[in-house]
Amino acid sequence: MKKLLLKLLPAVGMMLMLTGCPEQPEEPFIVERRPHIAILVAEGFHDGEAYMPYGYMINQGFEVTVIGPAIGPVQAYNSDFTIGIQRTVENVSIDNFEALIIPGGRAPAELREHPDIVEFVREFNREGKVIAAICHGPQLLAAAGALEGRTITCVSGIQEEMEEAGAEYVDEELVIDENLITSRVPGDLDAFSLAISEAVIEDFDDYMETVLPPQPGM
């Protein structure tokens, strides 16, 4: 609808000129901005834990960018699926995104070996932005020092590792602790994806209220 209206604007303007309508003061045109989500992957990611949140966010109308250590396709460890990394962390800023999703699989163990990626996650958490990690994803949160005093969940195989990083582990499908959203396994993806969407919408609305003054009549 918006694209159609933009195409019609020149024609409408010409009609107003030809019919002699009085000139109206020009109002500022506000371009609608969509929430922007980053999905952080590497070789060995879990296919469902990347693709299901990706599709859910797209269906919500969000913009999604896949980021990682190097641009190009990476292979899932549990299937023949691949996903294309579009940007490296050196080429993006945390200011570009409202949320960061960290799928599980073997990729988090790979990602934590990259100091620039660990620092990106650390800074994302320091700013209080939404970070959602599932399965082995919290391994990267541990490497970034983001788990001290936090309550999370994860795949049970890394429970001890997360507790050593300072986290309190609970065995639930979804745990939300301030800006951190965590889940355990692919069976939790429905609740995980919904929680991300709700958190992003809430934070994004709060952000837009700070950058756009209330409009007349609203």
| pLDDT tens string 17-76 | 333 444 444 444 334 578 999 999 999 999 999 999 999 999 999 999 999 999 999 999
CA–CA dist 52, 60 (Å, integer): 12
Q: Identify the CA nearest to 82 among candidates 107, 112, 45, 53.
A: 45
Domains of the chain, residue spans: 36-210
Does domain 36-210 fall under CATH 3.40.50.880? My reply is yes
Would residue 136 show up in a list of annotated catalytic residues for this protein?
yes
CA–CA dist 86, 45 (Å, integer): 15
Q: Specify the residue for token string 């429905």.
A: 190
Residue 150's alpha-carbon distances to 38, 103, 164, 170, in angstroms, are: 22, 19, 12, 11
Catalytic residue from among 36, 46, 114, 136 = 136
pLDDT for 108 beyond 80: yes
Structure tokens given for 107:
């990729």
Please tell me the predicted confidence (pLDDT) of residue 22. Answer: 41
Please tell me the predicted confidence (pLDDT) of residue 32. Answer: 52
